[in-house]
Amino acid sequence: MNNPWRFFIVVEAILFIFALWQILHNPGLAVLLVVGILSTLYVSKKVHRSNFNNFQLVLGVIFIVVSVINSSAIWIMLIFAVLFIGIKGVEISGVDITQRAPWRKKQMIMVETCNKEPKNGRRFKRPWFANERIGSNIYEWDDINIDILSGDTIIDLGNTLLPKNDSIIIIRKGFGRTRVLVPMGVAVVLEHSTFYGNVRFEDEKYHLKNESLKLYSNDFDTNNRRLKIITNSLLGDVEVIRV
């Protein structure tokens, strides 16, 4: 599957069905689960609860937990979720956990080159809902234009060389966090419009409510290598971080 999160949901759903099968084929666990669910639903619908109702609620939750933790499939679900989210989180954040490993102290990095590709007529397919990181590896710079409904976006400019004069990043999204990692020595102007969110730029933080904001770095008028960032969002934060 192209989408790893879809794979994650399918695997978790299969394990959940297997867990239900295990519980229902164990009469004791099945009784505990049914009694716990019925007791919890009964108490949650009562407007005025007595001490006995609170005891029923606690007992129902205990019955559900006992029946669930006795299923091996539930433990496999939890282990798979922790491993998947942990690995995916490292991938999205761009943290290299082996960067300080002893075997990398004298590592030789070979840069692979490729033939120059024509830029005219290139088409990019982007998902509507996704967490995306641009710039994990060395790449040739080209202006960025992103439209997405929801998801976190990280653009790392540390692995590319921005040309002189102006470069442009345009990001339009509904919901999600946006982070742009900009190398030192590059002048930046940020133009952001949002319904609700925060902006962090040059160690300053701004809170916006249905507002637009335009910010310049101190060296924008004197630097010949400039980056223009234009972002629009409904809900979400924007950060411009120096690296």
pLDDT digits (tens, 9 = 90+) for 147-199: 888 888 888 888 788 888 888 999 999 888 899 998 888 889 999 999 899 99
Instruction: Provide the pLDDT for residue 207.
Output: 92
Instruction: Provide the pLDDT for residue 120.
Output: 62
Q: Are 94 and 136 in contact (CB under 8 A)?
A: yes
Q: In whole numbers, what is the pLDDT of the chain averaged over residues?
A: 81
Instruction: Provide the pLDDT for residue 192.
Output: 92
Instruction: Provide the pLDDT for residue 1.
Output: 44
Residue 138, pLDDT above cutoff 80: no
Other residues' Cβ atoms within 10 Å of the Cβ of residue 17: 11
> Where do the DSSP E strands lie in 85-243?
132-134, 144-150, 153-156, 165-175, 178-182, 187-201, 204-216, 225-235, 238-242
Q: Are 130 and 151 in contact (CB under 8 A)?
A: yes
For residue 114, give the amino acid letter.
C
Domain boundaries, the chain: 4-93, 128-242
Q: How far apart are CA 144 and CA 14, in angstroms?
A: 38
Q: Average of pLDDT values for 116-124? A: 62
Selected residue with higher pLDDT from 93 and 19 = 19
Stated pTM of the model: 0.53
Q: Average of pLDDT values for 2-8? A: 70
Q: Average of pLDDT values for 197-204? A: 89
Residue 25, pLDDT above cutoff 90: no
Residue 104, pLDDT above cutoff 70: no
DSSP3 helix / strand / coil % (the chain, rounded to 5): 35, 30, 35
Instruction: Provide the pLDDT for residue 32.
Output: 86
Instruction: Provide the pLDDT for residue 103.
Output: 46
Q: Mean pLDDT: which of 49-53, 103-107, 200-204 is highest?
A: 200-204
Q: Check residue 148 and report its DSSP letter.
A: E
Q: How far apart are CA 75 and CA 41, in angstroms?
A: 25
| Residue 43 banded pLDDT, cuts 50, 70, 90 | confident
Report the b/e string of 97-131 with b at 16+ CB within 10 A. Answer: eeeeeeeeeeeeeeeeeeeeeeeeeeeeeeeeebb
